[in-house]
Chain A
Amino acid sequence: MTTDNQLDLSLIETLSNLSGVSGAESAVRERVMKEIKPFADEIQVDPLGNLLVACRGEDSGPRMKVMVAAHMDEVGFMLTAEDDDGCYRFAKVGGISDKYLTGKSVWVGKEQVPGVIGLPPIHLTEKKDRKKIVPLKKLRIDVGAGSADRVQVGDRAVFATPFKRVGDSLIGKAFDDRLGVAILIELIKRAPRHIDLLAAFTVQEEIGLRGARVAAYKLNPECSIVLDTTPARDFPVWEEGVENAFYNTRLGKGAAVYTADSGTISDPRLVQYLLRVGEEEGLSFQFRQPGGGRTDAAAIHRQRGGIPSVSISVPTRYLHSPVSLVRLEDYQATLNFVETALKHISPDILSPMGA
């Protein structure tokens, strides 16, 4: 186990606070570029805006090509039409429940101009209507009449949630997937020397895994590991005394390894390998409950003739809401788990199935 992990919270803070809605990832890409430049052998930005980085190993002879992906984009909004008085209609980019919209503040555009999503006063609403979540079409992003010239239709917006450390936990927006991005940056900084690490900072994950698909084609790896966040629904059941059987993952239990989600059946050889490394090295990890949800692995594993893939996530509460919460120890555990797994990875773990 690595003990010298100098954990860079300021990196997570910076990444979390940047705006990078799907299709508008530039600010994140620029920041990542700055971080990884001194450590990369090859860097390219592809036609969709994916940032593809190669860290070539030192071993002579054929080196295993391992793709590790993390998506730069986050869910958010786009202003779609202007109303009066600094108010704009808006659309969602990615999956956000309407219940998270009312009463929240947002940052609009590259300059992060403040805006709010209000709600008619409780005094003017009927009790029965307050039982209904207000649908998007009735809501506006209000930047104030005086600020209307600083934003325009087409601008993206994100929840205005500054990063903060809270005890053993971190809160902020866009942990999905800036935590994966932060881990991938750390991996590049200490890339293993026996393989070619092919890092993909992908775009447009939240609107259909579009970046990862072309990135995997271009990189053409032997296998891939996708770094993401996954819901921790480790809450109490409302009715006392009932056990929560749908927790997906739990905070404090370490890196979440996928066996299957709705987009990917993880490669069993990779899962077995991760299990073995985790147990032998005494790493903190858990299996994510198989079920819904998907990661970039769903696009990557179907690229070309097939790419054995597995996902590893940081368990995170309140994903796709204005504010997510993770335990610092789980972030560290995930970084450590992936780093250790890469250190020992070799082509023989992928011996043909059925042989």
Chain B
Amino acid sequence: MDSMEMNDLLLDLLHVPGLSGREDPVLRYLQEIWEPLVDELRVSPLGSLEGVVRGKISQPRPKILFAAHMDAIGLMVTGYQGDFLRVTSVGGVDPRVLPGGIVTVHGEENLPGVIDQLPNALLPDSAPKDSVELKYLIVDLGLKEAELKDLVQIGDLVSFQQPPLIMGDKLIAGPALDNRASVAAITIMLASLQTRAPAWDVWVVATSQEEENMSGALTSAYTLQPDLAVAVDVTFASAPGTPDHKSFSMGEGIPLGWGPSVHPGLHRAFEKAAEEEDISVKREPLPMRSGTDADVLQISAAGVPTMVLSIPLRYMHTPVEMVHKEDIRAVAKLSQAFIDRLDANFLATLEWEE
């Protein structure tokens, strides 16, 4: 996939809505993109998109699963007050990014609106005056009450409306790069498999509901029963206000997860593939749970050796998340390099040894 195609893919992925539990629009978009790249494509009962590129070795042929969640964080309508809507969060939303933002309410149609906190004079005396709280925010669609109630119902989802920003030739910013950047990476990997013949079956899954409860990844892993699973997700990039010891510079190497959610043997195999292919990587300490789909992939059925690949991302869970496009490409390339190295004997060599 050349850089123009990759740009288009990313921009499309950032424009399509798809909040946790209501991933339909992004699901439909990916169905179209993945269809020509896979041997089989299906949608799980919980709305994950599962595609497979069949391997060439004979059955029982081992399977590797790459999971990237396609759901995004956002808001949900909880009620009306006059001409305005009240909302709650879907996924981890810091309310401080909301005042003065533009949102899209997915009602009868997609309705743009403004979100802001009520002026202090209209808040109860108990409300702190130098703070932003979700319960004090209102969404204004520029509509009057009757029309509003016609077009919007309780439970309708609300996305950040921030359009994607091309920042020079290396960076891109926008909402939902967590985790559409990773969806782009596994899509690029899929495209690269077209000219190769993997030994194993390669399953790619765009998972649903990660930001709420990881139910998409958990259930797809159960159905597909992979022999290895890789979660591709974003991690913290160094940025103003983000401590350096908890973050990774953009464009300077792919963080490889290391901790209880990651099989140490698998980690090393990825490290080795990266070294041989001259792909720069770093170890990402994940001392407890990884906070990615890997946490549930690992404990599916009788347990699955699991790996976490990360794309450093600035300003996570804000409407202006930012990634380096080379990092997306590097994750795709490393994934493909790892697949290239899988053979009939790989599993026999895999041991949990820190």
Question: What is the interface of chain A, defined by CB distance below 8 A to chain B?
Answer: 83, 85-87, 97, 99-100, 102-105, 114-125, 130-134, 138-140, 142-147, 150, 159-162, 164, 166-171, 233, 235-240, 244, 246, 252, 317-318, 321-323, 325, 327
Contacts and interface: CB of A to CB of B under 8 A. Distances in A.
A185 to B, nearest CB: 24
B246 A124 contact: yes
A244 B121 CA distance: 9
B96 A134 contact: yes
A323 B236 contact: no
A87 B102 contact: no
Nearest to A161: B102
Contact of B171 (A99, A119, A146): A146
A121 B142 contact: no
B316 A122 contact: yes
Residue among B81, B127, B141, B167 with most chain A CB within 10 A: B167
Per DSSP, are chain B's interface residues mostly helix, strand or loop, or mixed?
loop
A118 B177 CA distance: 14
A238 B118 CA distance: 8
Contacts of B287: none
Contact of B314 (A142, A170, A325): A142
A146 B169 contact: yes
Given A145-B170, A235-B118, A105 B162 contact: yes
Contact of B122 (A167, A233, A327): A233
A321 B99 contact: yes
Contacts of B100: 99-100, 104, 159, 318, 321-323
Contacts of B140: 317-318, 325
Given A121-B317, A169-B143, 17 more contacts: A87-B239, A103-B101, A103-B320, A114-B165, A116-B315, A118-B239, A119-B96, A120-B241, A123-B236, A130-B95, A139-B240, A147-B168, A169-B142, A233-B122, A235-B82, A246-B119, A322-B101
A142 B242 contact: no
A122 B170 contact: no
Nearest to B246: A124
Contacts of B94: 103, 119, 122, 125, 130
B117 A99 contact: yes
B114 interface: yes
B36 interface: no
A105 to B, nearest CB: 6
A117 B321 CA distance: 10
B154 interface: no
Interface stretch (B4-12, B131-139, B182-190): B131-139
B317 A122 contact: yes
Contact of B322 (A116, A124, A168): A116
B143 to A, nearest CB: 5
A121 B116 contact: no
B60 interface: no
B142 A132 contact: no
A171 B102 contact: yes
Contacts of B130: 132-133
B236 A124 contact: yes
A142 B138 contact: no
Interface string B76-97: 0000011010000000111111
B291 A123 contact: yes
Contacts of A325: 114, 140, 142
Contacts of A116: 165, 167, 173, 315, 320, 322
B344 interface: no
A121 B92 CA distance: 10
Nearest to B122: A237
B143 A104 contact: no
Given A118-B239, A121-B315, A147-B167, A103 B116 contact: no
CB-CB nearest 3 A-B residue pairs: A146-B168, A103-B97, A169-B142
9 contacts: A99-B96, A114-B167, A118-B318, A120-B239, A125-B94, A133-B130, A144-B171, A144-B173, A236-B138
A119 B122 contact: no
A252 B168 CA distance: 43
Nearest to A326: B142
Nearest to A246: B121
B318 A166 contact: no
Contacts of B322: 116, 118, 142, 144
B166 A114 contact: yes
A142 B240 contact: yes
B319 interface: yes
B350 interface: no
B338 to A, nearest CB: 27
B240 A239 contact: no
A133 B130 CA distance: 7
B107 interface: no
Given A133-B132, A146-B167, A169-B142, A236 B112 contact: no
A138 B241 contact: yes
Contact of B113 (A83, A166, A170, A321): A166
Contacts of B123: 238
